[in-house]
Structure 1
Amino acid sequence: MTASPRDAMIAHAALLIARDGVAGTSIGDVLTAAGASRGSVYHHFPGGRAELMSEAVRFGAEILGERLAEASLAGPGEAVANLAAVWRRVLVESDFRTGCVVAEAGNARETDPAAAEVADESFLRWEDRLAARFRAGGIEGERSRALAVTVFAAIEGAVMLCRVHRSLDPLDRVVGELQLLTGDGAGQTHG
């Protein structure tokens, strides 16, 4: 089944945001990538660029949220390793060019507040989901939430460093430390 022109623009915008940031993603770039006409933007997105960027971040967040849900089915330490495995694939397959669409949008509060708001909501949802996984794995109360925030902050930072260094080493190191924090004790990655 072929994606609709609207869906194609959203998907391409999400990929471009993950690579270039919200501010670095123009309508022209999206139209070129999606093979769409200029008039189609306002037909499909009456709110213009802001609506398109927000929808792209929402789309990217849903995909990453699904991957997170799958990754967090295991115990706390393995959930961290599984989450990192998702990023390992993204980084390697994109030759270290692609980061997190949600993190990129979160950094765009000044220029694209609607997209940044979607990012904020997405991170909160992910943190809730991971904290629940940690509670189910025996990490109690507020510590489960604090640990979920720590995991996302560390992995997002590691992804950025991986892109800068063009190496998976930062992610591997962070995962080892996070597994120690989650009580896994092994401190080993599951690449």
Structure 2
Amino acid sequence: MAKQSARERMVASAREMIRRRGVAGTSMIEVLTAAGASRGSLYHYFPGGKTEMIEDATRSAIADYTDVIELLAGLEPEQAVPLLIEGWKAEVEASGFTAGCPVVAAAMGGEYVPTARAMAGEAFTRWSAQLERMLVNTGVAQHRVQSLATLVLSAVEGAVIMGLAQHSSEPLRRVGAELLTLIQSQREDGPR
């Protein structure tokens, strides 16, 4: 694995801090410290200051999660939904139930960095479209796919938030099971 540059470490640290503290609670100095970067590197790499750093962290998270969603969208829901749920369970459990989705955090912190909120909105639109493709490919009626894809994405993100608040993976487990049941019930040719 290639060694990360100071800028890459700073973006990764900002992304992790956003997951844990939100946009408003993300401090540039703490990001520098966590990344092991010098103060002089801050405006060298981020001449736009905190806004640019938050945008880059959000962009990084969106790219990674988009790769996952695209991969999952090529699978059957019986494979994709459990993998999505297990992935989120692993992330929130590894954080000790202190870190959620950085893209949701960017959306929630939109009054501080409106461009990050806009990026999050565009990402949610792209992710929903990928889920729509999966649903169509598995036999869900076209008139149902848009709302069902929105529900899948919203339910999983909501379960992550509930899990953090309740310090439990149970909301994710329940949502995963219900989503599978719902998707199967919407297939025109019946459950597989």
> Deviations 1:102-147 (Å, cap 9, x if unpaired)?
0010111212101111111111111111111111111132411211
For residues 46 and 143 of structure 2, the distance between their equivalents in structure 1, rounded to whole angstroms, comes to 40
Partner residue, 1:143: 144
Q: Find out whether 1:18 has 2:19 as its counterpart.
A: yes
Q: Which runs of 5+ in 2 are unaligned?
A: 187-192
Q: Partners in 2 of 1:55 and 1:118 — Cα distance?
A: 10
Partner of 1:65: 66
- TM-score of the two chains, using structure 1 as the length reference: 0.91
Aligned residue in 1 for 2:83:
82
Does the 8 A contact of 2:73 with 2:133 survive in 1? Answer: no
Cα distance change on mapping 1:176 and 1:148 into 2, 3 Å: same
1:61–1:102 CA contact under 8 A, matched in 2: yes
Aligned partner letter, 1:143: R
Displacement, 1:184? Answer: 6.3
Once residues 146 and 79 of structure 2 are traced to their aligned partners in structure 1, the CA distance between those partners, rounded to angstroms, is 17
**Which residue in the other structure is 1:49 paired with?**
50
Residues 10 and 56 of structure 1 are in contact (CA less than 8 Å); yes or no, is this contact kept in structure 2?
A: yes
Q: What residue in structure 2 maps to residue 163 of structure 1? A: 164
Alignment RMSD: 1.5
Q: For residue 172 of structure 1, what is the aligned residue in structure 2? A: 173
Q: If the length of structure 2 is used for normalisation, what is the TM-score?
A: 0.91
Q: How far apart are 1:154 and its partner, in Å?
A: 0.6
Distance 1:146 1:81 in 2: 20
Shift of the alpha carbon at 1:161? 0.8
CA contact (8 A) 2:7 2:45 kept: yes
Q: Which runs of 5+ in 1 are unaligned?
A: 186-191
